Amino acid sequence: MSKIAIMGAMPEEIEPIINKLDNVDMTLYGANKYYEGSYHGQEVVVAYSKIGKVFATLTATVLIEKFGCDRLLFSGVAGAINDELNIGDLIIAKSLCQHDLDITAFGHPFGYVPEGDVSIDTDQTLRNIAQDVAKQKGLTLKEGIIATGDQFVANEERKNWIGTTFGADALEMEGASVAVVCNALNVPFFILRAISDSADMDASFNFDEFLESSAKISADFILSMVDELGR
């Protein structure tokens, strides 16, 4: 039977999921907690990584290599770049890039290192399933480019630079790490984010205010996807 990894970066992003699991068994590994359990009969392993690309890389790898997960769904919040996105709106990544990866001094584009790619696509089948779930819920689900970096962006100029350089619609701090790991290990993956702020001068204030409610919007959608995947 398949085992689905569900990953967030912060406790607030996975708590609404862990609360709904049956037969939960927690394992501490590499200074992170991994919750094995089932949701409506579907086996899942749920964990939060802590914030940032390095921690996210570790957790995604452990979910796949130690716990044997064969698909990975990420749930969390993001800052909006595209001004069609408002607080609480969902966005799924069509592809992800690293906005803070810079060896342009050697003539390479931003976000590129040799033998890598500027952007990595998420799994088309999982995106299609997400669109089916959205339709059932009467929601419109925006698909776009998500840019990842080890920075909380609270600056209009930086946000606009990321928007123009990568064509990005939203930004966060983990998604592209998960993409690199899953792409290298051939594990289908999906990144969902609900908007918590607009990466502008109000971002830290809005993030604190909307983290919990937006994280729950994303987590609830992920649980509906697990139901659909378990069918």
Catalytic positions, written as ranges: 13, 197
What is the per-residue binding string for ligand ADE in 185-204, x denoting contact by CB under 6 A? -----------xx-x---x-
Binder of ligand ADE out of 110, 112, 189, 207 (CB under 6 A): 207
Answer yes or no whether residue 173 interacts with ligand ADE by CB under 6 A: yes
Answer yes or no whether residue 171 interacts with ligand ADE by CB under 6 A: yes
Binder of ligand ADE out of 56, 145, 147, 153 (CB under 6 A): 153
Binder of ligand ADE out of 8, 16, 37, 79 (CB under 6 A): 79
Cα 80 to Cα 82: distance, rounded to the nearest angstrom: 6
Contacts of 146 (CB under 8 A, 6+ apart): 78, 91, 93, 95, 96, 97, 168, 169, 170, 171, 172, 175, 176, 191, 193
Least distance in angstroms from the C-beta of 132 to ligand ADE: 27
Answer yes or no whether residue 62 interacts with ligand ADE by CB under 6 A: no
Contacts of ligand ADE in 94-133 (CB under 6 A): none
What is the widest separation between alpha-carbon atoms in the chain?
53
Please say which residue, 37 or 175, places its beta carbon nearer to ligand ADE: 175
Give bridge partners of residue 42 from the DSSP assignment.
39
135-157: buried (b, 16+ CB within 10 Å) or exposed (e) per residue? eeeeeebbebbbbbbbebbbeee
Please say which residue, 3 or 158, places its beta carbon nearer to ligand ADE: 158
Contacts of 41 (CB under 8 A, 6+ apart): 230
Q: Summarize as ranges the residues that interact with ligand ADE (CB under 6 A).
A: 77-79, 152-154, 171-173, 196-197, 199, 203, 207
